[in-house]
Structure 1
Amino acid sequence: DISDEIKFAWKIQRDMMERGHSLESIQASIEARKPDFDAYIAPQRAQADVVLQVLPTKLVPEDKEGKILRTRLIQKENVKNFETTYLFDEGSTINWIPCG
């Protein structure tokens, strides 16, 4: 599940740099497909057992190209034949300093 900001940044990079499209044509293309996305793709999130979100970073505010990402794993609990993934034990304290 790629956030709108990241999708837009990636599409601009690809379509402008590799294909020579204008910013206006890219925006129009995205807007033209949005109703189909909203009708058919977005509702599937509620039915998914696992959703991996790709989001803009909060660590580097000036990254407008979507080169540094933040991700979020959302997983339903108690799904038959599917073990829940736990990254940390309950009550764990995590200290992390980004290096870069």
Structure 2
Amino acid sequence: DISDEIKFAWKIQRDMMERGHSLESIQASIEARKPDFDAYIAPQRAQADVVLQVLPTKLVPEDKEGKILRTRLIQKENVKNFETAYLFDEGSTINWIPCG
């Protein structure tokens, strides 16, 4: 599940730099497909057992190109034959220093 900000940044990078499209044509293309996304793709989130969100970072506010990302793993609980992923054991001590 890629946030709109990241999708837009990635599409601009690809379509402008690699394909020579204008910013206006990219925006029009995204807007033209939005109703299909809203009708067919977005509703699938509610049915998914796992959703991996890709979001803009909060550590580097000036990153407008979507090069530094924040991710989030969302899992439904109590899904038959599906074990929940735990990144840390209960009671773990985590020390982290952001590199941004």
TM-score category (smaller protein)? over 0.9
**Runs (5+) with no aligned partner, structure 1:** none
Match of 1:90 in 2: 90
Q: How does the TM-score come out when normalised to structure 1?
A: 0.94
Point out where structure 2 has 5 or more consecutive residues left out of the alignment: none
Distance 2:27 2:42 in 1: 19
Q: CA RMSD of the aligned region, Å?
A: 1.1
Could you tell me which residue of structure 1 aligns to residue 60 of structure 2? 60
User: Identity of aligned pairs, percent?
Assistant: 99
Partner of 1:32: 32
CA distance in 1, matches of 2:94, 2:72: 16
Deviations 1:5-54 (A, max 9, x none): 00000000000000000000000000000000000000000000000000
The number of residues matched between the two structures is 100
State the secondary structure of the residue aligned to 1:73. Answer: strand
**Which segment is superposed worse, 84-93 or 74-83?**
84-93
